[in-house]
Amino acid sequence: MKTLAPASQRAQLDVHESAIRAVEAEFDAVPVDPLGCGMPTEPPAISVSTVLDPYLNSDHIVAERDDVKHSQIGLLQLAVVKAAFTCDLTRVVTFQWSPGTNHVSFGELWPADPAVFKVHHTTSHDAGSADQREFLTRVEEFYALRAANFLQDLASTQEASGDGSLLDNTLVPYLTEVAERNHSFVRMPWLLFGGLGLNGGRRWDNGGTERMSNDLWMAIAERFGMQGFTLGDNDMHTTAITGLFA
């Protein structure tokens, strides 16, 4: 192929050959499941707590912390996502750390006593105190740090085709289920990361006018070639948001 292809394609052929050689080396080393694609070691079994914290008449403090195991499980799942992207097995993934009604407990985050293990969601139903707001902020930082590390991992991983990094060819919407702890959906913040012509480094709020989240999904669909795509009934969208992509 190198003798037949034009010189301008030499770099892509080299990357493609390197990817093939890497797969060959894996097969030569140990038998692996081909669908593992670079993940030959089975992850450890992780047992988790099944404690449900009551919403009322509770200090939301439990005997076991979940955040360490929670992080381990999430990072293992994100490693599978990255492997699937790297091997081009899929390019569409939905990943959720936990449901909005989670009972995940966190250690070292409760300002009044870092030694206790405080449950995330049920604590958000208490009256808003300074300690509660700081705790909820720290939980968001817990998730944001792991999301940032995953995005950096995608950015540092080259596509097998040689066409940029995995992040260059991926669009990552990052959001929570609600805008505030009182379950409000008004002005719910979204973050968008990635390439594909995304106009990054900006804050967009439509001048304070509310828009349906479907308008954002419609804009993303248009970027992927689905012109004229609508989502939901007429009262659930207006038009696709413009200006998000170059």
Distance CA 197, CA 224 (A): 11
DSSP letter for 165, please.
Answer: B
pLDDT for residue 234 = 84
pLDDT for residue 86 = 85
Sign (positive/negative) of CA torsion 226, 228, 231, 237? positive
pLDDT confidence of 37, banded at 50, 70, 90?
low
Query: In this predicted model, what pLDDT tens digit does every residue of 201-237 receive, in sequence order?
Result: 888 887 777 888 899 999 999 998 888 888 888 888 8
Yes or no: say if 55 and 122 are a contact pair by the CB < 8 Å rule: yes
Distance CA 180, CA 189 (A): 10
Query: In this predicted model, what pLDDT tens digit does every residue of 156-202 receive, in sequence order?
Result: 988 877 788 999 999 999 998 888 887 888 888 889 999 989 998 88
Distance CA 170, CA 223 (A): 12
Yes or no: say if 109 and 97 are a contact pair by the CB < 8 Å rule: no
Percent of the chain with pLDDT over 70: 86
- For residue 107, the tally of other CB atoms under 10 A from its CB is 15
Determine whether 170 is exposed, middle or buried from the number of CB atoms within 10 Å of its CB (0-12, 13-18, 19+). Answer: buried
pTM exceeds 0.85 for this model: no
Distance CA 225, CA 102 (A): 36
Joined together, the tokens standing for residue 156 give 């540092």
Distance CA 130, CA 128 (A): 7
pLDDT for residue 26 = 56
pLDDT confidence of 27, banded at 50, 70, 90?
low
Query: In this predicted model, what pLDDT tens digit does every residue of 84-105 receive, in sequence order?
Result: 888 888 889 999 999 888 999 9
